[in-house]
Structures are given as structure tokens and as C-alpha cells.
């Protein structure tokens, strides 16, 4: 939970939990989750990884599934 | 714990936390929470029990109160 | 997780930890613990499941052993 | 921890996570988060503090940042 | 768990869990729980906050509900 | 972790983690996991539920997925 | 939480939390706590170490302070 | 966190814990653990990262050491 | 863990754990810990409360003892 | 989870969970678990204590029951 | 906590907590924290990732912020 | 986290994390860590065991590795 910055105003923040998936890396899975959320959520400013999982097929990692909490300021707060 | 899936596509998922109540069982409380959420949330595909509580009246369990995280794919993700 | 109440007065509550056992179900084990405590403890109003265990005999569940915290208002508090 | 209620009906509840900020106290940060959420969320009935943080400037606490889970009954549940 | 002091004798301590309520602050809720327990428990020497919750009414915090573990030396231990 | 009994000998125990599935209940999912393990593991004497999850289809619980740790005495230990 | 035994009857158990102290060892601190509780509590059958702490004086351990949960069957349960 | 599956049958799963090592990345360490286990374990279908550590030599990361739980269906379950 | 700000440069941060004490409030205990650390530590920018405890004398709270993690940028990092 | 050493090769490690028992000490219970496992498991190189419990008879500790995770390199990994 | 090696001498180790930042990856953030600490801390031999967070700007990950515990032998210990 | 004593003054405390090693016992490993720290740290007054691990060689425990948090008052605080 953080939401900090040079100039911290008296905002109220909301956190939501997302899971991104990627065939390549943990970082890519997180970026995909954030990119998708960016379509509808404004002001996202930080995230925290809460779980890293994945699916396996024939001894190969198929998908990385990374769950994050994302925080964003509520408008007019 | 997951053990899942046939064809996992590159989706982004969101998790929400709900609490269902029931006078009869833990399973019923969970089903009621999911049934209610189904009115407005599409694509729910899994849940995890995060807390099991209840209220007591005169030495009898009155309500089971079971909190779950529910995951669902975001559309067009 | 709480979802509580109509008229909450300024009480002080105490929590105790109990373990109920049952050959049939988790719910029954909890109810047995509460029923036994009801003999000597007044005003029990809520519980929380803190652990679910059991004993096994010959590949069959013998007893469910469910531990709960039970809260009750102290009198004259 | 719950100490709940008089007349508990068979509701389904949802929990959301918010972070309130305050220059003065933990209590004020929580109240600000709830007050802001009250603009758009009905029926909020309980909260739980999940994290207490803050920012520091020149050896002085600048903002308290308190994260809470807030629960509310879903309508027509 | 602490129970420490200048002159630590070989005592045995017991911990109990209480929840105090207050309309004003976390500190007041804790003090109320301890004050109530003081009526029947001697030698209380330390506490630890284990959970901070509250009830909400119409977007206002109604009660702070703070759970603590309280430790005290058993007599003749 | 438990391994207890009237006559506790100096055994060494091993714990394994299993996940049972059921369309009906948590208890059934646990029993199915234990029953399956009983085919190859002797002396199972206790279990602990470590996670309760499930899959959802069209707003209905499809499978309960309950993970347990199961303990058993190693022979000649 | 365990309370298990060859012949497990349908008991209800209670757990209490104690802290024993010792100048010599962890094991001694636990034994002292149990010995003291034995004066007033019957049927204690198991314990679990929940915290191990100690006090220091001049670079030497002064007291081990070991907190345990102790379980015992409630009579007539 | 799971988001799984098309056709979930009534299987029983087992989880094992492995640690993979890599001089290059977390992802590589996980893949190496899975690849090695694939020699003797069939049907592995998911994993969860439970710990990420590493060794350091002269201010440089020498090895990433990533521990995972891996789940697989027991045959004839 | 947070270290955030409008203009986040590529810093490395260190966290230390402190405990402040106060006879009046949690907030005051935290401020006292930070004020004392400010004598020797530069650039402190955030804190997180990790434990809230206290001492009791004759049924009254004597001291609040609040432990925090404090983060600060290492110079020339 | 550790497995570290002067010369760390690219091994894959497995962890298993065991519980040793002893009438005398925690250390002895751990040594007994490791000694028993040594009959069938090669290359064990580290352990971590995950739980310390025990049984009580007539106010005396009967058995220490200490659960450990033990790590060992998989051959040809 | 690990600090292990082929030839383990009777050392005493200290752990410190650092946070590294990177615009590219988790691994790079960890390496940067270790590299900076290497300027003043000798003998660092292992690390453990304790938290993975990040900042977001316009739907893009801006910085990875990875917190680690780093262990090193105290000299002359 | 404790910092307790007959006469508790308004001190600020710092906690550091150490790991002691011993070929004989947990207690000895803790004492060795404290003894080493005593060379450079004044006023150490309490500790808490946070992890107990060890190394194994040929089925024998080689070293106990016990991690502790140690608290001490900052001077002039």
C-alpha cells in the first residue's frame, strides 16, 4: 500500500486485485494486467505482487499468472 | 492450488471479495455469494475461501458467514 | 469480516478458543463446541474458524476437529 | 472479531480496499476513506484496518496512510 | 508476548484476548478493554493489538473495535 | 502437525500435500483425497485443511478443490 | 490444534495461551508453564510453541520466555 | 489464484516442493526445476512460487534459488 | 516498502526497524521514534507500523510501544 | 529454503516435511527425523523447523513433536 | 535466513533490508541493491526477496521496487 | 518487540536481525549471536527467535542456525 510522492495530497485511494498472464515472464504478466486495467481505470500509481503462479504443459511453463494489487486515487477525493 | 485448464488464453483476470451467509452450511453460504454476484459479473471461473465465521444465538449457530475471493476474466483482455 | 449489528453498545468482549469434534461434518464439529461452551458461557455472539483438522483410520476420516475463536460480551462491561 | 447484530438477514456482502490519508491521525485517515466512499457506495457497515503506513519529511510525519477493507451489503441480495 | 522488567522473576504468564469498543479512538477502545478486565484480573502487565476493526453508519465511524492480547502473571507461579 | 495418541511411540512422521475434488462438499473432497492416497500410503493418521478453493461455471459451483496435508508414520522409524 | 489419540471420543477442547520462563532452556520454560497450569487445569493433553523470546543482560541471555498454546478436554463434553 | 480449466474431472492431485537454481533469472530457475521433475513426474499442471532467494559473491548475484510448489494429478484417481 | 514519489530516481533504499514509546498515543510513539532517528539518519521518507503493544500498570495503559519500519534512500545510490 | 555452499552447482532440490519425536529435547526430535530419513534419502543438506508441538501427560511433557522441512539435491539434476 | 556453505564455520551473521529499483526487471532491481550495498558491506553471501512492488505512470510500469533481506558474516565472529 | 521493564522510560529502541550458529543447540546459537553483537552494541535488552534452521551432513545435524531480532535502547533517546 503506498501512494506516495513528492507532493502527496489528501487523496483517498482504492486498491483492486488483478491477475495478468504471459508466456514469457513475470514482468510481462504484470504489465499486461496494468495495460488492460488502464482502459477503464484512471490514475493507477502503484502495484504490489501478491502471488506468482503458472501452468505447465509437458514439462514446460505454459503461462505465468501473476496477481497484483493496483492502487489508484479516487477522483474528487 | 490450481489445477486447471484446458485452453488457457492470454486473459487478464480480476478478483473481488464477497461474503455469503447461510443458516445451513459453509457450502451454501459460498453458493449464495456466487449466485448473487452472477447477476452482474460475467465469466466468474474460480473462488478461494478466505475466512469462515458465523453468528451465535442462544448457543446455536445462527448464520455462517463465509468470505471468498472470486476471479473472472475481464472481457476483451 | 463482520456484518454486524443493529444496536452496538459499548461492550467489552472476550474471545476463547475451542475445538469441536464430529464424525460427520465441519459444521457439526463447530456446533458441538458452541453447544458445550453454552453450558458455562453466556452471551456468545460470534465465532471464527481458525483451523480444520481431522484424524484418519484405515483411509477413512474418523473425526473432524475444528478449532474456533468464540466471542462474547463481558457482563457489566 | 465481530460482534454483530441483532437482526442479520441473508445478505451477500462485498468488501473493497481503500486507503485514506491524514496529516493528523490514524482515525482521521480511516474516516476520510469512508467518507469519500460514502459518495458512491451504499450500506457500508464495517471496516478492518489492514495496513498503517506514512510518509516522512525532515523527521516529521507528513501523512498517515491507512488501508482498510470496507464491507457493505449488496442490494437485492 | 513480553513480560519483562527490571526484575524478572520466574513467573508463568497467561494471555487472554479481549475486544474493547469506543466511539472516539483506538487508544480509548484499548483502555476500556483493560479497565474492564482489571475488575477481575490481577497483575496485567502488557498488551498487544491484534486487530483493529469498526462499524459504520451512514458513512460515519460508529465504533472502533480493537482486539488485544493481554498478559498477566499467574499468582504463586 | 499432529501425531498423537494414547500410546505414542517414538515414530518419525512424513507429511504430504494433496488436493481432493468434489461436486458436493468440502468434506467429500477431503475424503476422496484420503481414499486415493490410501491405495499407496500406509498408516495415514491425521490431516489438516490448508486451502479451500473451487471452480465456477455459469454462477454455479462446479468443483470444490480442497488441499490438505496428510501425516503418516514412517515404518521402522 | 491436536488432541488425538488412539481412542478419540467426541470431546470438546479448550486452548489457553501461557508463557513460561527459564534461565536455562526453551524446554524448561515450556515445562514450567505446563507444571504451573497443572495446578488448576485438568486433562491437558497437548501444546504448541507459538513464540520464543528472551531478555538479555550484559550480553548474556537472562530468561527464555516461551509462549505456548495448551489444549485440554472440557469435562462432560 | 486460478483461472483454470475447461474440463475438470474428479482427480486427486499431489503437490511437491522443489527449488530450481539459475545464474540468469527467476523464470529460468523455475523452468529448470520443472524440467528436472518432468523426468520422473507425470501430469504436472501448475506451480506456485513460494520463495525467491539467491547467493551473492563479491557483490554479484551468483545463483537465483526459486522454490515452487508443483501440482500434478495422481493417476487412476 | 515504498519509496515513491513524484520523481522517482534510481535509488537504493534501506529499511530499519525502530520502536517508539509514548504515554499518550500511537501517533506520538511513532513520531518520537522518527524524531530520534532523524538525529543520525538522513532522507527518511516513509514508515510502516509493524506492531502495536503497550505496558499496563494497575489497569491503566502506561506506555504505548509502537514498532515501525522506516525507509530511507542511501546516498550516492 | 537454502542450499548454498561454497561451490553451488546448478542443482534442483526437493523439500519434504517430516516430524520427529523425542522425550528429551527439540534438538533430539529433529535429529531423529533426519536420521530416519537418511535411511532412504541421499544428499540431505539443510532443514528448517516449521512447527514445535508436544503431548502432555499428568502435567509433564511426554513427547516433543518437531516438524521440519528437509532439502536435498535431486541426483542428475 | 541462510548462510551456508561447503565449509560452514561458526560465524554470526547479520541481515539488513534493502530496496532496489529498476526500470527493466525484478532481477535488475535486486542486483542494483546488492551492488550499492557492496560499497560498504563486506561478506554478503545470500539474499531473500521479501516484497515486489512498483510504480505506474500512464498505464506503464515505471519502476520495479524489490525489497530484499541480505545476510553477511560479521567479521571476527 | 518488547522493551519492558520495571521502570520504563521514554526510550526509542532499534531492532537488528542476527543469525547465530552452533553445533550443539538452539540456545547456544542464540547466545553466540548475542555475545558477538555485545562487542559493538550496547544496551541489548530482549530478543525474539524468528527462524530456526540448520545444515545436515551425512544424516547428522552439522550446525544449528538460529535467527533472532535483538532490541536495544538508542542512547540519548
Burial L32-50 (b: 16+ CB within 10 A, else e): bbbebbeeeeeebbbbbbe
Residues 49-68 on A with a CB inside 8 Å of K are: 49
CA atoms within 13 A on the CB side of L8: 25
d(CA H6, CA G69): 44
pLDDT for the residue B9: 56
Picking from B53, B55, B59, the nearest residue to C35 by CB comes out as B59
Contact B77, A36 (CB under 8 A): yes
What distance in Å separates residue K44's CA from the closest CA in chain A?
A: 26
Q: Which residues of B touch C49 (CB under 8 A)?
A: 52-53
Contact B46, B2 (CB under 8 A): yes
Percent of chain G with pLDDT over 90: 83
Q: Which residues of G touch J19 (CB under 8 A)?
A: none
Instruction: Tell me the pLDDT band of I5, cut-offs 50, 70 and 90.
Output: very low
What distance in Å separates residue B48's CA from the closest CA in chain D?
A: 14
How does pLDDT run across E2-19, given as a tens digit for each residue? 444 444 457 999 999 999
Q: Do L4 and E1 touch (CB under 8 A)?
A: no
The sign of the dihedral angle between the CA atoms of J42, H66, I11, H59 is positive
CA triplet K42, L64, K9: central angle to 5 degrees?
45
d(CA H28, CA L44): 43
Picking from K4, K12, K16, the nearest residue to L20 by CB comes out as K12
CB proximity D14 to A under 8 Å: no
Q: What is the pLDDT along chain L (77 residues), one digit of tens a residue?
A: 344 444 445 799 999 999 999 999 999 999 999 999 999 999 999 999 999 999 999 999 999 999 999 999 998 76
Q: How are the residues of chain L apportioned to helix, strand and coil, as percentages rounded to the nearest 5?
A: 15, 50, 35
Q: pLDDT below 70 — which residues of chain A?
A: 1-9, 77
Burial class of residue C58 (count of CB atoms within 10 Å of its CB; 0-12, 13-18, 19+):
exposed
Alpha helices in chain K (DSSP H): 26-37
E strand intervals along chain G = 13-22, 44-57, 60-73
Mutation target among G3, G6, G9 for the F interface, most CBs of F within 10 A:
G6
Burial D43-69 (b: 16+ CB within 10 A, else e): ebbbbbbeebbbbbeeeebbbbbbbbb
Q: Which residues neighbour I45 within 8 Å (Cβ) at sequence distance 6 or greater?
A: A4, D55, D56, D57, I3, I5, I13, I71, I72, I73
Of E64, B30, I30, the C-alpha closest to D48 is E64
d(CA L52, CA B29): 40
Q: Which residues of L touch G64 (CB under 8 A)?
A: 27
Helix (H, G, I), strand (E, B) or coil at I48: strand
Q: What is the pLDDT along chain G (77 residues), one digit of tens a residue?
A: 344 444 445 799 999 999 999 999 999 999 999 999 999 999 999 999 999 999 999 999 999 999 999 999 998 76
Query: E13-73 has which CATH code?
Result: 3.30.1660.10
pLDDT for the residue B77: 67
Of G64, G71, G68, G70, the C-alpha closest to G49 is G68
The arithmetic mean of pLDDT across residues B55-64, rounded, is: 97
State how far the alpha carbon of G31 is from the alpha carbons of E52, F5, G28, I61, in Å.
Answer: 34, 20, 5, 31
Query: What stretch of H or E contains L27?
Result: helix L26-37
Strand-pair partners of H61 = H56
Q: What is the pLDDT along chain H (77 residues), one digit of tens a residue?
A: 344 444 445 799 999 999 999 999 999 999 999 999 999 999 999 999 999 999 999 999 999 999 999 999 998 76
d(CA K68, CA H53): 9
The sign of the dihedral angle between the CA atoms of H43, H45, H51, H57 is positive
CB proximity G44 to E under 8 Å: no
Of J33, J52, J43, the C-alpha closest to J72 is J43
d(CA D72, CA D43): 5
Alpha helices in A1-77 (DSSP H): 26-37
What are the counts of helices (DSSP H) followed by strands (DSSP E) for chain E? 1, 3
Picking from G16, G50, G65, the nearest residue to E14 by CB comes out as G16
Helix (H, G, I), strand (E, B) or coil at K12: coil
pLDDT for the residue D77: 67
Of K54, E23, I58, E2, the C-alpha closest to C8 is E23
Q: Which residues neighbour E9 within 8 Å (Cβ) at sequence distance 6 or greater?
A: none
Q: Which residues neighbour G55 within 8 Å (Cβ) at sequence distance 6 or greater?
A: E4, E8, G61, G62, G63, G65, L45, L46
State how far the alpha carbon of E3 is from the alpha carbons of A65, C48, E40, E48, G58, in Å.
Answer: 45, 28, 20, 11, 19
Q: Which residues of E touch L3 (CB under 8 A)?
A: 2, 4
d(CA I8, CA I22): 34
What distance in Å separates residue B38's CA from the closest CA in chain A?
A: 19
**Residues in chain A, overall count:** 77
Instruction: Give the dihedral of Cα atoms A37, A41, A44, A49; nearest 10 deg.
Output: -30
What ipTM did this prediction achieve?
A: 0.92
What distance in Å separates residue B2's CA from the closest CA in chain C?
A: 20
Of J5, D50, B61, L12, the C-alpha closest to I38 is L12
CA atoms within 13 A on the CB side of A34: 28
Task: Compare all CA atoms of chain E with the CA of I61 and give the residue at the minimum distance.
Answer: E31
pLDDT for the residue A75: 87
d(CA E42, CA H58): 56
Of K54, B29, K66, the C-alpha closest to A46 is K54
Of B45, B43, B55, the C-alpha closest to B19 is B55
Judge whether residue I53 has pLDDT over 60: yes
Q: How are the residues of chain A apportioned to helix, strand and coil, as percentages rounded to the nearest 5?
A: 15, 50, 35
Judge whether residue J2 has pLDDT over 70: no
pLDDT for the residue L9: 57
d(CA G33, CA D21): 44
Residue bearing the bigger pLDDT, G6 or F66: F66
How does pLDDT run across E31-72, given as a tens digit for each residue? 999 999 999 999 999 999 999 999 999 999 999 999 999 999
Of B24, B48, B21, the C-alpha closest to B32 is B21
CB proximity F26 to B under 8 Å: yes
Q: Which residues of G touch F2 (CB under 8 A)?
A: 1-4, 46
Backbone angles phi, psi at K2, to 5 degrees: -160, 155
Q: Do L17 and K69 touch (CB under 8 A)?
A: yes
pLDDT for the residue G3: 40
Report how far Cα H51 is from the mean position of its chain's Cα atoms. 11
Query: D14-73 has which CATH code?
Result: 3.30.1660.10
CB proximity J48 to F under 8 Å: no
How does pLDDT run across K11-48, given as a tens digit for each residue? 999 999 999 999 999 999 999 999 999 999 999 999 99
pLDDT for the residue G10: 74
Domain boundaries, chain L: 13-73
Burial class of residue A26 (count of CB atoms within 10 Å of its CB; 0-12, 13-18, 19+):
buried
d(CA G38, CA I8): 59
The 3 state secondary structure assigned to chain C is: CCCCCCCCCCCCEEEEEEEEEECCCHHHHHHHHHHHHCCCCCCEEEEEEEEEEEEEECCEEEEEEEEEEEEEECCCC
d(CA B26, CA B76): 34
CB proximity K74 to I under 8 Å: no
How does pLDDT run across D7-64, given as a tens digit for each residue? 445 799 999 999 999 999 999 999 999 999 999 999 999 999 999 999 999 999 999 9
The sign of the dihedral angle between the CA atoms of E70, G69, L18, D53 is negative
Burial class of residue I9 (count of CB atoms within 10 Å of its CB; 0-12, 13-18, 19+):
exposed
pLDDT for the residue B76: 76
Contact G24, G65 (CB under 8 A): no
**Residues in chain D, overall count:** 77
Amino acid at each position: 500500500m503506498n501512494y506516495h510522492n513528492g507532493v502527496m495530497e489528501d487523496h483517498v485511494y482504492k486498491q483492486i486485485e488483478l491477475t495478468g498472464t504471459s508466456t514469457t515472464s513475470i514482468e510481462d504478466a504484470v504489465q499486461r494486467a496494468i495495460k488492460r486495467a488502464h482502459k477503464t481505470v484512471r490514475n493507477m500509481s502503484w502495484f504490489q505482487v501478491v502471488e506468482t503462479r503458472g501452468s505447465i504443459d509437458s514439462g514446460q511453463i505454459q503461462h505465468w499468472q501473476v496477481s497484483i494489487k493496483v492502487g489508484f486515487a479516487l477522483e474528487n477525493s
